[in-house]
A and B are shown apart, each in its own frame.
Chain A
Amino acid sequence: MLQVQNLSIRQARNGRAPLVQNVSFDLREHRCLTLVGETGSGKSLIARALAGILPSGLEREGKIKFNGRECYGRIMNGAAGEIFLMPQESALALNPSMSILSQVAEVFRWPLGKGRLQSRKLAGQTLNMLGLFKTRQYPHQLSGGMCQRSMLAMALASPARLVIADEPTKGLDAGLKKDVVGLLAGLTEKGKAVLCITHDFSVARELGGLVAVMLKGKSVEQGPAEKVLSRPAHEYTRALIGALPENGLIPWSENPAEIK
Chain B
Amino acid sequence: MIYLIIPFLFAVKDLDSKNIKKYSPEERRKITVELIRQKNYDAAMSFSPDQNLTGCIKILKDQVNEGIEDIKESAEKGNIFSLDLYILLNLNVDRADLKNYIRNELSIFPDSTFSYQSPFVRYLTCDPESLYTQNLPADSVLFPYIIFQSGMINLEKDPEKTKKYFKILIDDYPNSIPAIIARNTLSSL
Are A and B bound to each other?
no
